[in-house]
Amino acid sequence: MENNSRMRIIHIALLALLVALLTLGCSSISFDSALFSDDAWIAANGDSYSYIRSVQAADAESATLSFSGFYGKHSVWAFEAEGEAELALDLDLSAGLRGRFKVCFVTADKQVFMLESKPGLSSHILTLSAGKHYIVLVGDAAYGSARLRIKHAPEPLPYELRVLL
């Protein structure tokens, strides 16, 4: 009888373990892949993102990210300009970039400009008009790393900068 009871406890424990493993294995990121190309969604206020793993650092001049399982949109910087201004942005996307990933510039009038989506170095001159502008990362099952560097206009800055990352 004692042996039978012990076997029953072992069977229940194994069944509970199996259910737990199946539940964990079935959980997946819910992301509509069509949003990756939806400029209205990218330009909308607010971020919506998830990472399986992410290491991030950002300040007023640079941002670096290493990530896996990135889904959604994640704003790096917001620029509030009172009038027209320019800034330079250098991008370095890792050679091992996988999945879909892009860096976008969202203007005050909600226009979205894709700056880069392929590995390598690129440089961009961004023109700010009056209003709030954003640098936004967009991903769909993206894995890799990115480095962004801003070259500001001379002091005083002709815009207010907020670090969002």
* Confidence at residue 118, expressed as pLDDT on a 0 to 100 scale: 95
- Name residue 59's amino acid: D
What domains can you pick out in the chain, each with its CATH number? 33-163 (2.60.120.380)
Which tens digit of pLDDT belongs to each residue from 40-96? 999 999 999 999 999 999 999 999 999 999 999 999 999 999 999 999 999 999 999
> How confident is the model over 134-161, as a mean pLDDT?
92
pLDDT tens-digit series, residues 91-122: 999 999 999 999 999 999 999 999 999 999 99
Q: State which amino acid sits at residue 132.
A: K
Residue 34 has pLDDT above 80, yes or no: yes
139/15 Cα distance (integer angstroms): 37
- Residue 26's pLDDT is what? 41
- Token match 């997946």: residue? 28
- The whole model's pTM is what? 0.81
Greatest CA separation for the chain = 85
What is each CA distance from 97 to 117, 145, 165, in whole angstroms? 9, 7, 20
CA distances from 128 to 18, 56, 131, 159 (A): 56, 26, 8, 9
- Average pLDDT, integer, range 140-148: 97
Does 123 score more than 70 pLDDT? Answer: yes
Asked if residues 71 and 28 have their Cβ atoms less than 8 Å apart, the reply is no
pLDDT at residue 66, rounded to an integer:
97
d(CA 90, CA 73): 20
